[in-house]
Structure 1
Amino acid sequence: MTIDDQLLANAPNFRDLGGRATSDGARVRRGMVYRSDSLAWLDESDLATLERIGLRQVMDLRADVERAKHADRLPDGVEYTTLDVNPKPAGGTRGTGEGADRHFAGDLASVLAEPELAREVLSDGGGERFMHNVNRVLVTSDAARAGYAELLTRVATGPTAAVFHCSAGKDRTGWAAALILSLLGVPWATIVSDYLVSNLRMDNIQRWIYAKSDENGIDRTLVDPILGVRRRYLQTAFAEVERVHGTVEEYVRDGLKLDPEIIDALRARLLEWP
């Protein structure tokens, strides 16, 4: 079994964060932390797989509306925590520029449900702007900082095996995975490679977005930039870290307000040496 083998039939982006080598010769332990897309569609075989790998903790990064529509299916006894990293916009959500950018990943369904709004948000390169803004907001918004701080704490000190996930498992989940791997000392090229694997696991979300687009008369080319991940989207997130805080370590200390002991515990738990 390779690092990126598909483990769950109905959550194609569920995969082990372990197996990656670090710059100083260690390796991220396998079977400890997983990343995923929605766990709402799991069948009995998928649930049996989660029991087999010893899943004990789930961290759900989705917004309230996503969870209400599609609740996770989990084995009995799994500790379940909601960590809504979606920003809470002040005022309305309509409009151009920053107003349109308030539509975050979890609110995409409401954008696609209104053809006029979708064209306003996504036309003229708006899809790429949307995704770049998503990645900046994941670094800077109060909700995201609180959610990712708790996620790192839970990964470092909570029960394992653990999984964190959103709906597609690519943006909110992608930033969490990239952050953890960066803190563990995994090289940039490997972090990007892990991030881009999501593009091979987007069949479910692609069908859903295209169906919504067709239903509402929205040109599919407008939504293509939000269907997957691109290296430059992740670069935007790390550039925002550098702009606001300087380094990832300073972002964790000053932005997420985490004690160094948490990161020490994260590294002690997840790294193994040959």
Structure 2
Amino acid sequence: MILVPGGRGQLGHDLAALSADVRAVSSAELDVTAVTAADLAGASAVINCAAYTAVDAAETDEERAFAVNAVGPGLLAQACASLGIPMIQVSTDYVFSGDGVRPYETTDPVGPKSAYGRTKLEGEHRVLDAGGYVVRTSWLYGVHGSNFVKTMAALESSRPTLSVVDDQAGAPTWSHDLAAGLLELVSVLPATRLLHATGGGQTTWFRFARAIFEELGADPARVQPCTTADFPRPAPRPAYSVLSGAAWAAAGLRPLPHWRSALSEAFRAGVVAPRTGAAPLE
């Protein structure tokens, strides 16, 4: 049985949907900040999806973010090590500075600029020190939970135009594809323990939003480009956070599909609920 703490989010839902061997539990059912080996009874592996992901809130709530993103994964990894079972920690592109100009390799220097990124990086250290795996991903969206795709769909139905930043580059990742990759990782367990898994290719939030409008059958020209400076946020966002999948492929794992084809597949899977009786925008 593969235990998935924080399993009620978009990634946990997809893991459970893809494998009958997955037991996805909520944070209320299993608090990673107080986990022990006894809580993992019956597990053959652990994929940790529990995380404090409120990037802006973490700037003033770093203690709580640290508990969930660093202390919890460390305790999980230690418990897994004591039982001799593998643990996979899901991490983020935010551990990098975002100042790069080419896809980040797993061996590149890190340098988070936000509290969220700092706490996730510390979680990585603790998991790797205990012999676990770390998989960094980016721009995750899925059928369950809140995400950028659903936000854009909601705005498309309520605004004639909208502005989206065009100076932040990354790789959108459908949670279904990442879930499939994580399950493959559990079955392979390569020697390399730090990996990147994202949708293939790269884009900007602006171009991602236009692609979402295309999938909605809306005019993508209604999405206009703007800069990060136009919409300041409490936590700095990486300007460039494309992650290289070289280590993933070298480990014998199948690359995730290209982000654009994955987006089309996600729409076919119902990432945005079909609309009925909606009046067209004037």
Normalization by structure 1: what TM-score? 0.28
Greater strand content: 2
Normalization by structure 2: what TM-score? 0.27
**Larger relative contact order (CA 8 Å, sep ≥ 6):** 1
